Structure formats: structure tokens, C-alpha cells
Amino acid sequence: MTVKFLPSADSAVIVEFGDGIDRAVSDRVLGLAARLRSAGIEGVVEVVPTFRSLMVHYDPLRASAAALIRAIKTLLSAKTALDRKRCLWRVPVCYQGDFAPDLASVARQTRLAPDEVVALHAGIRYHVYMVGFVPGYPYMGDLAEALALPRRADPRVRVPPGSVAIATTMTAIYPLESPGGWHLIGTTPIRIFDALAAPPALFAPGDAVEFEAIDRDTFARIRSATERREYRPASTELAA
């Protein structure tokens, strides 16, 4: 795999791993992020993982792009554990009625029954590739091939928080009300971004997510407990 170094303005370097999106590339991105966080390289301010690259922000008064690239090259072949534990999260989702406004449309476009769409979506363990767009928004793959659809031709101006969506090979959860062009096939009653929590975002790159189909009554109970801060989705630590 060819690694490219791309200076970004005067205070960041992008380390690019290939040109595809897959879990092997994600593991390399996250591994380098962990090594950089633990290496204590002079001038490094922040590292931001994406699907296939890592942006390394630095203080130009304390480091240069050339020096930083040399330091990163020495870390590329190093072996180290990740600097945080990866978690498997089990997320409840209601795929019924107005909680799933695009489910019928997705079923028609994929030539599946709505129940088959739900079974496919909830039957996969997803990998959190990156978090972005709005705070806490997880880009998760890899969606079943039978559910892969382009984004909606008519994006919504407002998507409610908790909406579970699909587009292309990805699934996601909208943490906040925002515009969006993905297909909404369910809603979770949990909060995946909370500015008062530490950390505020529930998911982090490298985590895994499984969805569990629930009915309306269960949704209401979990939503009520979430609002009282008495509910947290089940999670287990993933093996290194």
C-alpha cells in the first residue's frame, strides 16, 4: 500500500493510505493515530482519522511539515496497541411507521420486503470508520450489498436526531437535527452525542455497532429513561 504525504496549508499534514474504503485501510489509519498520540512528537496538536487518511495538525512555530513527515515515516512500520479500547455497542432501533419514513421506498428500490430490509440492516456488525459532518455523526460500514442505494434525490432540510439512515455502502445515526440526504429507515431512542458527557460522542473510530429491532413501547421506555439519564446502551470491549 502506497502512503502519500500531502501538506495542508501551513499547519497540517495529511497521511493518505490508498484510494479505497475498507477495514484494512481503516486499521492502518487508526494504528498510526494511536502511535502519534503516544509518541509525543514535538509540535503535534491533534490527529483526525478519516476513511483512508489521517490529518495531523501541528504548531508551525514548533515544527515543520518536513520534520513531521520524517517523524511519521519512522512510525509507519512500528507496532503498538491502540491508545483506547474499542467497544461493541448494541443500539436499539424502531423500524416501524413514522420512525422509518423511507423504509417503504427503500424496499421498493431494492425489491425487498420491508421486513427483509430490517433483517438485513440489523443483521450486520458495523465498523465505525470515522466521526464527522456534525458532532458525533458516525459513518459506519459495511452495509449489505442488497441495500446499497445512492443518496436521496431530494435531501431533507431537517432530519430528526436519532434517525438511522443508509446511503451507498454506509449506515449512520443523526445525532442532532440537521439537513440530510440519506434514506431514513429507523430511529433510535438513545442519545449518541451529549455535550455534557465525557466524551460527548458515544462512538469513536474503530468501534463496532450492532442494531437491535424494538417496538414502539420499548422505544418509549428507553427514550424516557434516556431523557432522565438513566439509560446507556449495552457495550462490550472488543478484543485487540
pLDDT digits (tens, 9 = 90+) for 177-212: 999 999 999 999 999 999 988 889 999 999 999 999
Q: In the prediction, which pLDDT does 84 show?
A: 59
Mean of the per-residue pLDDT values for the chain? 93
Average pLDDT over residues 139-168: 97
Give CATH for domain 3-75.
3.30.1360.40
Average pLDDT over residues 73-93: 80
Return residue ranges of the chain for CATH 3.30.1360.40. 3-75
Percent of the chain with pLDDT over 70: 96
Provide the phi-psi class of 205: left if phi over 0, else alpha when psi is between -120 and 50, else beta. Answer: beta
176 has pLDDT over 90:
yes
Return residue ranges of the chain for CATH 2.40.100.10. 87-237
- pTM confidence score: 0.89
Residue 97 DSSP label: G
Contact between residue 194 and residue 232 where contact means Cβ atoms under 8 Å apart: no
Q: In the prediction, which pLDDT does 18 show?
A: 83
Alpha helices for 134-239 (secondary structure H): 216-227
65 has pLDDT over 70:
yes
Average pLDDT over residues 5-23: 91
Helix 103-110 vs helix 114-122: crossing angle, to nearest 10: 100
Yes or no: domain 87-237 corresponds to CATH 2.40.100.10: yes
Number of helices (H) and strands (E) in the chain: give both, helices first.
Answer: 5, 14
Q: In the prediction, which pLDDT does 85 show?
A: 79
Alpha helices for the chain (secondary structure H): 23-39, 65-75, 103-110, 114-122, 216-227
Contact between residue 181 and residue 156 where contact means Cβ atoms under 8 Å apart: yes
For residue 180, give the amino acid letter. Answer: G
Average pLDDT over residues 81-107: 90
Q: Which of 6-10, 109-113, 225-229 has the lowest mean pLDDT?
A: 6-10
d(CA 55, CA 12): 7
